[in-house]
Structure 1
Amino acid sequence: MGVSSAASDESLSTYAACAPVTGERKLNLHLQEQLPKPYLARALVAVDQSHPDGTEGRDHQNLSVLQQHAAFFDRNKDGIIYPWETYQGFRAIGFGFVISLLAGFLLNFLLSFATKQGWLPSPLLPIYIKNIHKAKHRSDSETYDTEGRFDPAKFDAIFSKYATTYGNALTADELSTMLKANHNFADFIGRIMAFFEWQLLYFIAKDEKGLLHQEAIRGLFDGSLFELLEKKRASR
C-alpha cells in the first residue's frame, strides 16, 4: 500500500530535482478542482476560475476564440480584415496615429499570406478570419492551440509560473520573464511578434500600479478586452 502510494505521488509530480526550472515555474495542482475539465481546450469561450462559462453576456457567433480575438478588427464584419480596418481597430482601443498606422501595415503584411486560400498574394493584404489559425506564431504562451481553441491549463500556467508577486497579475518584470521563457530556438519572427503583442497589451491594459491583470489578459484572448476599451474610449 505504501509503495503504491509513493508511486502515485511520483507519477503526479510536477517537479524534478535535476531540473530546477520545474520548481521555479510552478503549475497549479488544484486547477481541476477550480475549473471543470481544464485539460479540455474550449473552441467557443475563454474560461478561467472566475469565468467557467466564458465572458458573461457575450455572443461568440460560433467563432473560435482566436477568430473572436481577430474579429474585432473586422470593422465591416465581412470576414476579411484589411490594413485600414486594423488601423481603425487600433485607434478605437486608444492607440495613437503612428502605432495604429504601423500596426495596420505590419500585421496585415505578416498575416495576410498565411490566411489566404491560394498561393497568389494580394496587394491589399487581406487577413481572412476563417483561416486565422494558420497565422498562429510560435514562441507564445500556447493558450491558443493550433486550431484556435482556448486552452485553460495553458492560460492558468501564465500566472502559476510567472505571476509570483500577486498571483493574478503580471508585473513588467514578470511579463519579460515569461516572454523569455516562451522563446523557441531560432524563431526570430515568433519572438518579435510575441514581444510586440504583449508590450502593446501591457501599454493599453496595465493598471495605475503597472500591473497586467488576469482578466485583461483573458479578455485579450477572446477579444472582449478590445470591446471594453472601445466603449471606455467612446464614453470619454
Structure 2
Amino acid sequence: MVRVSPSPANRRTIFALFLPFPVPSPLSCLSLAPSDFAILALCLRSSCASADMAAAAAETAETAEGNEALQTVAPKAPVTYERVVSTQNLRFPKPHVPRALEAVDDDHPHGTPGYKNNGYSVLQQHIAFFDRNKDGIIYPWETFAGFRAIGFNFLISFLGMVIINGVFSYATLESWIPSLLFPIYIKNIHKAKHGSDSEVYDTEGRFVPEKFEELFSKFSKTDRSRLRYDELYSLTSANKNAYDPFGWTAEKLEWGITYLLLKDKDGFVSKEQIRGMYDGSIFETIERQRELSKMQKKKM
C-alpha cells in the first residue's frame, strides 16, 4: 500500500478542487503533479484504507506519470477519482474486442468451460435458459418455470413473468402487430436492450470484457473479486442516462433479482457468478444443484 501524508499546502489544494467558486491566492496558485492526484484523491475517500484501492491508485499513477494520454483521472472531474479504472494489462488477448460467443475474463480466456453457446450471442445465452422447450421463443409460462427452477418463490416468479414478457416481448417480435401471448424471440433480443445499463453487452448482444472488468475496478471497494449490495446499488445509480426512467427501473430490478439469487452468507456476489449471469451458465448450474439436492433428500 502506498502511504501518503499530504502537506498542509497540498491539503488546501485538494479542498479547493471541490469548492463551487474560485479560490483566491495563495490557494489557487498551488498545484500537484498528475501522479499525486491519483493517490491523494483516493485518500479523501472512506475506503482509502483498502489495500486494493491504494494499490490501484499507485498503479494508475505509476503508469500515467508524465503521459497525459494515459491519465484515467481528471483534476476537475471528481467522479473520475471516485470510480477508478485499472490500467493493468489483462492476461487474455484483445480485451477491447467484444466477444460474440463467450463471456471471457482473466480467469476464463475461453469462456465458461463445458458450457455450450449453441451459436447464440452472449446476450441470447443470458436468456436462453428460460426457453424451456428450446424452440427459440420464450413464452410467459416458460419465464415463470425458469424462475421456479432456480429457486424463486411463486410471487417473484409470477411478477418476473409479467414484467419481463410484458415489457420486452414487443421489441423482439417479427411483426408490428402485438401478440397477446407475449412471446420473446431470442434471435431479436438485442432489440430489447435498454439504456442506463452497464454496457457489458454491446448493441448487438456481444460481451465486452473491458466493461465487465470496469464493474469491479470502479465499484468494488473492499474485494475486487466480488460486490456487496451497496456497491451494486452504486453501480446502478452510476449507470443512469439522463431522462431514462425505464432504463433506471429496469437496471435496478435486474441487479436486485441478481443479488437475491446469487448473494452468499456474507452478502457478497462473486465476480465468477456475475460473469455466469451474463452468459446464463449460472442458471443451469443452480438448477442442477437444486435437482441434485432434491434427489439426495429423497434418498434420506
Please confirm whether the aligned pair reaches a TM-score higher than 0.5, indicating the same fold: yes
- Per the alignment, residue 272 of structure 2 pairs with 215
Q: Secondary structure at the match of 1:31?
A: coil
Q: Please say if 1:48 is aligned against 2:109.
A: no
Q: Secondary structure at the match of 2:67?
A: helix
The 5 Å alignment of 1:28-39 reads 28-32=86-90, 34-39=91-96
In the superposition, the TM-score normalised over structure 2's length comes to 0.75
- Alignment-mate amino acid for residue 165 of structure 1: T
1:140–1:194 CA contact under 8 A, matched in 2: yes
Q: Please say if 1:21 is aligned against 2:79.
A: yes
Q: Please say if 1:62 is aligned against 2:101.
A: no
- How far apart in 1 are the matches of 2:89 and 2:282? 24
The 5 Å alignment of 1:220-231 reads 220-231=277-288
- Deviation at 1:7? 9.6
1:72–1:226 CA contact under 8 A, matched in 2: yes
- Per the alignment, residue 174 of structure 2 pairs with 117
Higher relative contact order (CA 8 A, sep 6+): 1
Question: Identity percentage over the alignment?
Answer: 53
Report runs of 4+ in structure 1 exceeding 2 Å deviation: none
- Deviation at 1:31? 3.3
The 5 Å alignment of 1:62-101 reads 62-101=119-158
- How far apart in 2 are the matches of 1:118 and 1:92? 31
1:46–1:221 CA contact under 8 A, matched in 2: yes
Q: Secondary structure at the match of 1:117?
A: coil
For residues 185-213 of structure 1, the C-alpha deviation after alignment (integer angstroms, 9 at most, x for no partner) is: 11111111111110111011011100011
Which blocks of at least 5 consecutive residues in structure 2 are unaligned?
Answer: 1-63, 294-300
Which blocks of at least 5 consecutive residues in structure 1 are unaligned?
Answer: 1-5
- How far apart in 2 are the matches of 1:61 and 1:8? 48
Q: Give me the CA root mean square deviation.
A: 1.4
1:31–1:38 CA contact under 8 A, matched in 2: no
- Deviation at 1:8? 7.0
In the superposition, the TM-score normalised over structure 1's length comes to 0.95
- Deviation at 1:150? 0.1
- How far apart in 1 are the matches of 2:222 and 2:89? 19
1:83–1:124 CA contact under 8 A, matched in 2: yes
